[in-house]
């Protein structure tokens, strides 16, 4: 009874494996533009693609980021300073890239640049705190994509947008989760619009990795700043004990994070080099088997799991 079903499932998985294992040939003439290459995923991806002979155009926020990257890359890799929140900077980077690739078009655009702070309980934050994160993580992605789309269309290339499991589950307050939800929506609309042009759009949804965004020292300092900026009424409502417990809970992030950043960059690389790239990549075992499945639970169940064990505000019920 079960044998035919197992055979069918086996054939499906075999076909899926074969389809996803097909890679493009002759990558040496293709150009890929990556944002946020100072550290983390962007830095590692730039070096990985460079070592494979792909022409990498790496955008860094700082000169120091460029210098550090160039120490570990070949002379083929080229760099540019880019602030994704500055449209003039984005426009200049797009013109710079077009002078390099000329008529070839841009094969890949990887929107990787992102920040995680300011963040914390929503009531501790201001509109500017939200805007600072959204400007980088969402509006920066939109601006860079719009400027580079003509080059991508010319090559019938790929767009890879870095979202997060926080684009499925709101794991914290502030602009971070909002921006990642926004990337999911923007990528979906863009994928449908670009389909007639032969352009493919993929979304990367990493779990917990050891990067600047998950740095516990930075997170604690951020919480302290946000707490001190909050009004006296807000601080009384939550209480000092609540603040201390929230800060202590940040220490739980460290053990959840892995330093194997290649689990994310390998997904990015597959999206750029596979004949049939996936629409979404869940990067990391926690994302694949815990966080993404949790996002499909009924809201009431997910809310219960997320609030279970949380500290209680001083004036809470």
**Ramachandran sector of residue 26 (left: φ over 0; alpha: ψ -120 to 50; beta: rest):** left
What CATH number does residue 41 fall under? 3.40.50.720
Q: Which residue has the tokens 């702070």?
A: 117
Q: Domain for residue 11, yes or no?
A: no
Which pLDDT does position 1 carry in this prediction?
64
Residue 15 in this model has a pLDDT that exceeds 70: no
Residue 31 annotated in active site? no
**Is 155 a member of any domain?**
yes
Cα–Cα distance, 119 to 126 (Å, whole number)? 10
Least confidently predicted of 102-106, 109-113, 130-134:
102-106
Domain range for 95 is 27-307
When divided into structural domains, the chain yields a total of: 1
**pLDDT more than 90, % of the chain:** 81
Please state the rounded mean pLDDT for residues 186-211.
96
Read off the pLDDT band of 18 (50, 70, 90). low
Per-residue confidence at 103, pLDDT binned at 50, 70, 90? confident
Q: At residue 145, does pLDDT exceed 80?
A: yes
Q: Is residue 85 part of a domain?
A: yes
In a domain, 21, yes or no: no
Residue 14, in any domain of the structure: no
- Please check whether residue 125 lies inside any domain of the structure: yes
Tokens for 200? 């493919």
* Per-residue model confidence as pLDDT tens digits over 248-297: 998 888 888 999 999 999 999 999 999 999 999 999 999 999 999 999 99
**Range scoring the smallest mean pLDDT among 7-16, 114-123, 165-174:** 7-16
- Using the predicted structure, report yes or no on whether residue 143 has a pLDDT greater than 90: yes
In a domain, 253, yes or no: yes
Q: What is the mean pLDDT of residues 238-242?
A: 95
Tell me the average pLDDT across 163-182: 94
Q: The dihedral of CA 259, 280, 27, 190: what is its sign?
A: negative
Residue 191 within a domain: yes
Mean pLDDT, the chain, integer: 93
Q: Is the pLDDT of residue 215 over 80?
A: yes
Active-site residue, from 176, 181, 242, 281 = 176
């Amino acid at each position: 009874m079960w044998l035919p079903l197992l055979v069918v499932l086996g054939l499906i998985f075999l076909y899926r494996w074969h389809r996803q294992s097909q890679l493009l040939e002759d990558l040496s003439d293709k150009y890929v533009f990556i944002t946020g290459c100072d550290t983390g995923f962007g830095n590692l991806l730039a070096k990985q693609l460079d070592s494979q002979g792909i022409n990498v155009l790496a955008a860094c926020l700082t000169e120091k980021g460029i210098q550090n990257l160039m120490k570990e890359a070949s002379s083929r890799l080229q760099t540019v300073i880019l602030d994704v929140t500055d449209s003039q900077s984005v426009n200049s980077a797009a013109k710079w890239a077009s002078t390099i690739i000329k008529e070839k078009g841009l094969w890949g655009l990887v929107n990787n640049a992102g920040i995680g702070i300011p963040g914390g309980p929503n009531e501790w934050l201001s509109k500017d705190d939200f805007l600072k994160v959204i400007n980088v993580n969402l509006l920066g992605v939109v601006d860079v994509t719009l400027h580079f789309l003509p080059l991508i269309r010319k090559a019938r290339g790929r767009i890879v947008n870095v979202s997060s499991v926080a684009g499925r589950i709101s794991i914290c307050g502030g602009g971070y989760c909002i921006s990642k939800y926004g990337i999911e929506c923007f990528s979906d609309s863009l994928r449908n619009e670009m389909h007639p042009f032969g352009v493919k759009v993929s979304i990367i949804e990493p779990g917990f990795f050891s990067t600047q965004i998950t740095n516990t020292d930075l997170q604690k300092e951020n919480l302290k700043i946000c707490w001190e900026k909050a009004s006296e009424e807000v601080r009384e409502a939550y209480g000092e004990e609540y603040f201390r417990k929230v800060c202590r809970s940040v220490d739980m992030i460290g053990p959840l994070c892995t330093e194997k950043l290649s689990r994310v960059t390998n997904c990015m690389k597959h999206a750029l080099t596979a004949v049939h790239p996936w629409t979404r990549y869940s990067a990391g075992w926690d994302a694949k088997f815990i966080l993404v499945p949790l996002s499909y639970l009924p809201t009431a169940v997910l809310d219960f799991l997320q609030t279970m064990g949380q500290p209680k505000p001083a004036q809470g019920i």
